[in-house]
Structure formats: structure tokens, C-alpha cells
Structure 1
Amino acid sequence: MLRRLSLAVAVAAASSGLAQAQEVPLSSKTDLVTVYQEAVNNNADLAAARAQLAARQELVPQARAGLLPYLSAGAFTGDTRTKVDTSAGSQKVDRNAFSYQANLSQPLFRADRWFQLQAAQATSEQAALEFSATQQNLILQTAETYFAVLRAQDNLAATKAEESAFKRQLDQANERFDVGLSDRTDVLQSQAGYDTARANRIIAQRNVDDAFQALITLTNRDFPAVEGIRHTLPVQTPVPNDAKSWVDTAAQQNLNLQAVNYAVNAAEETLRQRKAGHAPTLDAVASYEKGDNDALGFSNSGANEALGAAAGINLPRYNGDVEQTSIGVQLNIPIFSGGLTSSQAREAYQLLNQAEQQRESLRRQVVQDTRNRHRAVNTDVEQVSARRQSIVSNQSAVEATEIGYQVGTRNIVDVLDAQRQLYASVRDYNNARYDYILDNLRLKQSAGTLSPADLETLASYLKPDYDPDRDFLPPDLGATEREQRNKTPQL
């Protein structure tokens, strides 16, 4: 009697055997939105970007400070010993001085500082957009990491089903050899196929563990299991399905492109700032100072009298504290600074040129990425459909090959190759599904429209009780296989 390959049988065997160690309570499964929320709260790269944003935003108040009043205050105290040699001998006078003062300066015309403020504001806007781009990238990174887990799990499920199918093929080859229906070569070929499938299953299991580890790295949380995506997820072409429309949207909304525009603005303002180093400056200044006679340059009466007597002259006498107040306008005209200002202007010009070239390079890259991802999504739509049909075709091919093997028109190598093709088509189908999901998100990121709402939309198609060992195939294909199995005579 004929034992034919059935994916449904393989799935059932894998689920009851190798998959038991992987089973987890359904209540412990995590959905995509929860993973994203944990990433937002715990991702180290996002926290570093947030701190960088806060630091770069401080450039604005720092630059603005150069246009605001500057007020300083201070005090002085000290002792002075004066010695005067005369014909009558040396005279020594000790004096103590103390004063305090306040100075106020208000820039009236500072072109360089004004352009510095404009550059700082542009840099602050650039930093905010770069942080938004980091937040947007975290959305994509979360989806990539999450669906990498699902991809690895589905690949493991298909590999375990393949291993189970090759094990049954090996058992059948042994049975046929025992009754004299085949030679030893069939047994050895089947054993080799089974050993290879077993090795592939071990690698696939490691890939699942690696995918979960990446999820821990992203969120700093340990997730024992995640919800899978339903096969009913709509696979549709982009809306609008016009590459030019997507490119035009990207030119206006791509966050990295907007950020580099502000980088160019900042470089332009910095160039103006450097050139303004040749311009005169005008400040309003005021000062107030109060202290004793000695501190402000007026000798006290005792010192004057002693020094005057020693020198044989009469010095003026001042009594009490001295108070001075001044207010005015200070003009400074730069004439020569050793070529520093000119050199800084040339440096700023080259940095502006660099920023403009980087913007052009990024613009071209955004256009390329947007067009490529638009094509990728359209290709994925066709791939999902073609890969799904490929499973059906390979199922039929396996069935026909096994019948041919039973009647002697095919050999065991043909059967094993047909089985490999079948499970390769299953993996290709699931890979096409996940490529479609991620390429859609990448297209939206290029266009600058990616948002957490896109993850929420995907989450609505998650299946809380998703079991990779059961659901790695579309339900209708699994049902078809079960019907075929029930009609198939057993050996």
C-alpha cells in the first residue's frame, strides 16, 4: 500500500514530537504593539538620541546669550607698602585698599552673533528632525525584529515537518528493503536525506533563539512567545501604485531629507557669521565703582602727608570713600587679526559646500530607495501569490513522484528531491509574506509617512493562538492536505 507525503501529517507529527518543548501558554504571548511600547520605553539607542537632542537644543540659548545684556560684579581688597628714599632717610607708608564694582554691557550691533543665533536655531531644528527619524526608524526596527522571530519560527516549523517527512521516508525505505521491494541504496539515500533534514532543523532552532535574543536587545525585556500573523493579511499593491507619487511625497516628507535641509541652512548662517567677523561692533557700556581712596587711585590723607613731607612737597588731601559712575558707547573696528577671520570664512564656505553635496547625495539615495521599495512591494505581491501556488504544485509533484517510485518509474532520489522542493516552496512562501510586510513599512519610511498606526494596523491581523507548527501553512492548503491523506491508502 502507498504512503504518500502529506504536509498535514508532517505538521501533526512535528507538533506532537519536536515542538512540545516550544509550547508556551497562550496568555504569555506578546503582540507587536506591546513590543513597540517596550522598545520606546527601554531602547538604549532611542534614549541616547533623546539626550543628544536635548544637548543640541541648548545651542539656541547659548547663542542668544551673545545678544543679551552682560552684567558682572566684583570686589577688590589689598595692602600696599610704599617706600620713598629722601635725603632725610627712607619713609615707609602702609596702605589698605578696598573697592567693589559692577559692569554692564549691551550689544547694539553684533552681526556675527546674530548669524550665530540663526545657525543655532537651524541646528536645533535639524536635531529635532533627526530625533524624529530615529523614532521612525525604531518603528521599522521593531517590525523587523518582531517578524524576524515569526520568520524563524515558521522556518523551524517547516524544517521540523521536513525532518518528520524524511523520517517517514526512511522508515518506508527500510520496510521495502525488509520485504525485498528495494535495495540497500534506497535506505542509504533516505538516511542521508533524513540526516541533512535533522541538521537543518538544529540550525533553524538556533535561528529562532537568535531572533528572540535580538528582541531582548531591542526592548530589554524577555518575551517567551509572540503572536503570529494571519494568512488572511491583505496582500495588495501600494496606494497609489505610482512610483513618482511616492518619490514626490518622499521629497517633501522624508525626515532625513528635511533634517539635511536644516543642516545646509545652518552652514549658510555660519558662513555669514564668519564673514561678519570683518564688521565693526557697537556696545553700550556702563560701570559703577565705589571704594576707599587708595583703591580708586586717590591717596588717603595720612599717606599723602607722610609722602609729601618725605619728598618735600605738598600732596592733595582726600578724605572718605570715592564713588565713580560711567556710561557710554564702545565702537570696535577690526583691522587685522593675522588672517584668522578670512581663514574661518573660507573654512565655513567649504563646510557649506560639503553640506550641499551631502544633501544632494541623500536626495538621490532617497529617490533610489523609494523607487526600489515601491518595486519591491509590487514584486512581493506577485511573489506571495506565485509562492502559494508553488506549494500546491509541489504537493502534486511529490504525490506523482511517490506514485512513480512505487511503480518503478522513479527512484528514491527523485522522491527526496521532490520533498525538498516542497518544503523549500513552503519556506519561500512564508519569506515572501514577511518581505511584503517589511517592504511596505520601508516604503512608508522612505516617504516619511511611517507611524505607530502602521504597527497597530498589522497588529489587527495577529493571531493570539498562532502555533507555528500548525499555522505555518495557509489553512486551506492544510485542509487540502488532510483530505488527500484521508483518501490515501496506507502501506
Structure 2
Amino acid sequence: MAAKKLRLIGLAFALCAAAWQGTASAKPLDLLSTWQLAVQQDPQYRADQAAAEAGRTQTQQARSLWLPTIGASGTAGRGGHKSTSQGANFSAPGMGTHNQVEFNNSITGGDLRAYEIGLKQPLLSRERLAQSRQLRLASELSDLQWQHAQQQLIIKVVERYFDVLVARQTTELLEQQYTQASTAQQETQARFEVGDRPVTDSYEASAQARTLEAQLLAARMQQHLAEAAFTDLTGMTPGKLLSLPLAAPVQHPELASLSDWLADAVQLNPAVLMQDKGVYIAQEEIASYSSWQSPTLDLVGRLSHEKLDGSGRYGSALNKADDWMVGLQVNVPIFTGGYRSAKRKEAFYNHEQQLAQAQNVRQQVQQQTRAAWHAVQVSAQQVDALQQALQASQLRAESTRLGQKLGDKTTLEALDADNQLTRVQIDLLNAKVALIVHQLQLAALVGALDEQHLVQANQYLQ
């Protein structure tokens, strides 16, 4: 029966997978749907998500440091006891006072029962305060790391998606050009054989065809690798994707001034904020080892009971003790062998290291922001220039082909015009992709990259 249920469950999963594949093949994947697949499949993203959940528990850990701790212990078993007191003074009503009195007590193999309940409530501790602050800062740090991980996955999704898209369109363009070059080679060879074309035309066409064949093989290999990387990220093969139209005009993105972007990056970049948290954590580590802040004050309480019942050298005996106490306990470290002072020096140098790293990260983020801001501007201009070059290259290729038919242009000139057109098309494709990616990178540098940016990036696609 269980095996039958398992087969039914497996069949259900297979049907769901087939239905999903059918839907995916009917409807092209866009950037947003690719992101949703990657969220479920990417192992690094799942690891970052688990780390973020673990980090959030540190807030509760920080709170628990200031809550009371209660412990209980119990003992049951066999035990023995022997005590002797000599030279004691004894006084009792009706018996007078006696000196040099001796008391003896002995239990051999008696029954032992004992329990103790203890309570400790921290009231004052600079080291504990530093630990609780460090835990809260670590929790905030994990949130920033999670934000950074989400943004990095968005960038990775876009890069993997466009790697496949560019590789496919590049392969398609090279296949078209290779077909044209192969056709030209066959025509020139046929005309050479009938004496209508010189042998150089045949050699030139053959060289062009072989060169394009090599480029096409490299493009197909790149497409295969891009598709494999896409599958690793999303868990499915890249079926039908949207296309990036070459001739469609691109609206220039409207950006704020570079100074505004730099200011936002320094204040909002996750890497900068994470480094700042590290500085604060290092500061608390210094404070926890300050000698004048080391004493601790705790409210403590204890309730205990111990009973040993049995017989010994002097007959039956019973030892029983019940204790309780409530009070304040002060602990002051006087000498720890130099451990605390050494730890404080270590914490001081760690703080200096964190400060220097924070400054270095700020400089790197500013450089990255400056580069991304200029890259967006330049990419937009490159797209405009290459779209004009595309129109000119198309006209040149058409006129050269016509001139070849009329005998005014050679086969090499026609093939060169086709090569130039393909190069411009590939350059324009890469420029459009660069424009999209640079905009997303710029948004990530100010901590603003989210799913809405994927929706906006989809507008470039068809």
C-alpha cells in the first residue's frame, strides 16, 4: 500500500513537472520569472537565507543575557560521614558547663538525599552589556548580509539570463553570415571553374567561410556553457527566452547627479553598513575589558537540603541540613595574570583594523559607484551610436551586394560588408546588455535593487 502511494506521489510530481515545462515552453521566461526560479533553486541563496535566520536569533540571545537564570540539582545514592570535634565547650540547662568535650559522629553506607535550587539575576555587568550589544549588532549585520545576498542574486540572474540571450543571438547572427559566406564560396568556385571569376575570389571566399566557421564553433561552445550555468542557477534548462531587439530605440535613463549617488552610496550601501557594524562591535569589545568597568553585581538566591541517614560506629545517626539565602553578590577581578589587559589591547587593535577597513570599503564603493554612473551614461551613448552604425552598415551591405551583382564590387568587398554588419549587430547587442546591467549595479550600490528593477529591465525585452 505504501509503495502504491509512493508511485502515485511520483506520478503527480511528474505530471506537475511536465505541466510546468509545457507552460514554460509556451510562454517565454523573462527576468522576473527567472529570479523566482533562482530563489527556489540557487544553493548559495538558500545558504544565505539560513544564515540570516540564524542571525535573527541573536536578538533573543542578547535579551536572555539580562534575564534570571534558575538551576536545580538533585542527588540520591549512598554515602558516608565521619566527624570528630575535640576540646569543645558544652553547656546545657541542668548539666552545667563542661570544657574539653569531644563529639563524634559516624555513618557508614547511609542513604543520601540532596537537592538545591539556585537563582541568579544580573544587575550590573559592563562585560555582559557589551556582549548583549554585540549580539544585537550581529543580528543587524545578518540582516544587511541578507539584503546584500538578495541583491547579488538579482545581479547573477540578470547576468546568467543575458549570457544565454547574447550567446544565442550571437550564434544566430554568425550562422546567418556563415551561410552567406558558404554560398559565396560555392558561387565563386563555380564561376572560377567556368572562367568567370579569378582564383583569388575563390580563395578569399574560402578564407572568410573558414574564419566564420571557427567563430561559430566558439559561439556555440559559449552558448552551451551559458545555458549550463543558467540551469545550475534555476534548476531548469533555458527554453524560450525573450529577445533584445537591436533596432528598437532606447530611452536614456534619467540619473541624479554623481555627487548625489556618491552620498547615497556611502550612507546606504550594504557593504559600508556591514563594515560600520563591525566597527561598533569592536568598540564594545574594548569596553568589555575596561578595568574600572569590570565589577559585576548580581541578585542571587539559593535553597538547599541534604539528608544522610544510616548507622555507623556509634549506632544510628542522621545528618540533615536545610539552607536558604537571598542577597547581592559583587565580583571584582583583582588580578588575572595580565589576561584582561592583553585582551583589551587586542580589542583596541582589532578596532583600529575595522576602522581602516571601513575607510577602505567606502573608497571602493565610491569608486564602483563612480564607474557604474559613468558606465550608464556611456552605454546609452554607445547604443545610440551603434544603432546609427547599424543602419549605415545595413545600407552598405545592401549596396555592396548590388554592386557585386553589377560587377562593380568584388566578393571580398561584399563579405567584408557582411562582416562589418555582423560585428555592429553583436556590439550593439552587448552595449544594450551593458546599459541594463550597469543600471542594476548602480541601484545595488545604494542598496535599492529589488524585484521592481527586474520589472523595469523587462521593458527592454520583447
- The TM-score normalised by the length of structure 2 is 0.83
* Distance 1:55-1:321 versus aligned 2 partners, 3 A rule: same
Q: 1:58, CA displacement in angstroms? A: 2.9
Cα deviation digits, residues 192-212 of structure 1 (max 9, x gap):
211221222222122222211
Higher strand residue share: 2
Cα displacement string for residues 226-279 of structure 1 (whole angstroms, at most 9, x for unaligned residues): 122345766344423521121122222222222222222122112212326862
Q: How does 1:9-408 map to 2 (within 5 A)?
A: 27-81=26-80, 93-231=108-246, 235-275=250-290, 279-293=294-308, 303=312, 305-306=314-315, 321-399=320-398, 401=400
- Number of aligned residue pairs: 419
Aligned mates of 2:375, 2:140 — CA distance in 1:
33
Moved more, 352-361 or 248-257: 248-257
Residue type at the aligned position of 2:139: S
Aligned residue number for residue 314 of structure 1: none
After superposition, the C-alpha distances for 1:46-70 in whole angstroms (9 at most, x for unaligned) are 1100111222333333343332212
Q: Find the aligned partners of 2:334 and 2:129 in 1 and give their Cα distance.
A: 21
Q: 8 Å contact 2:246–2:428 — kept in the other structure? A: no
Give, in whole Å, the separation in 2 of the partners of 1:50 and 1:251: 25
Greater mean alpha carbon deviation, residues 417-426 or residues 114-123 = 417-426
Q: CA deviation at 1:398?
A: 3.6
Aligned residue identity for 2:259: K
SS of 2:333 mapped into structure 1: coil
Q: 1:452 to 1:276 in 2, by over 3 A?
A: farther
Secondary structure, in 3 states, of the residue corresponding to 1:225? coil
What is the Cα-based RMSD across aligned positions, in Å? 2.8
Pair 1:439 & 2:438 matched: yes
Identity %: 27
Further displaced range: 186-195 or 72-81? 72-81
Query: Is it true that 1:430 corresponds to 2:445 in the alignment?
Result: no
Q: Counterparts of 2:247 and 2:452 in 1: how far apart (Å)? A: 19
CA shift for structure 1 position 154: 1.3
Code of the residue aligned with 2:65 in structure 1: it is: G
> 2:301–2:325: 8 Å Cα contact kept in structure 1?
yes
- Quickly say closer, same or farther: Cα 1:357–1:147, change in 2 above 3 A: same
**1:426-458: CA deviation from partner (whole Å, max 9, x where unpaired):** 111111111111111111111222110111122
Question: Does the CA-based 8 Å contact 1:28-1:224 persist in structure 2?
Answer: no
- The letter for the 2-side match of 1:330 is Q
In 2, Cα distance between equivalents of 1:158 and 1:276: 73
Unaligned runs of 5+ in 1: 1-23, 86-90, 295-299, 308-317, 464-491
| Structure 2 residues not aligned, in runs of 5+ | 1-22, 85-105
**C-alpha spacing 1:341/1:73, structure 2 compared with 1 (3 Å):** same
Give the drift of 1:332: 1.3
Query: Following TM superposition, by how much is the alpha carbon of 1:319 offset from its aligned partner in structure 2, in angstroms?
Result: 5.8
* Residues 403-482 of structure 1 aligned to structure 2 (within 5 Å): 411-463=410-462
Tell whether the 8 Å contact from 2:386 to 2:424 is kept in structure 1 after alignment: yes
Q: Which amino acid aligns with 1:143?
A: V
Distance 1:199 1:233 in 2: 30
* Higher relative contact order (CA closer than 8 Å, sequence separation 6+): 1
Say whether the 8 Å CA contact 1:237–1:377 is kept in structure 2: no
Contact 1:112 1:276 in 2 (8 A): no
SS at match of 2:327: strand
Query: In the alignment, residue 282 of structure 1 is paired with which amino acid?
Result: L
Distance 1:237 1:30, change over 3 A: closer
| Aligned partner letter, 2:261 | W
**Counterparts of 2:43 and 2:398, CA distance in 1:** 52
**1:63 and 1:113 in contact (8 A); partners too:** no
Q: Is the alpha carbon distance of 1:368 and 1:115 closer, same or farther for their aligned partners in structure 2, counting shifts above 3 Å?
A: same
Alignment partner of 2:177: what SS?
helix
Name the CA distance, whole Å, in 1 between partners of 2:114 and 2:107. Answer: 23
Q: 1:112 to 1:373 in 2, by over 3 A?
A: same
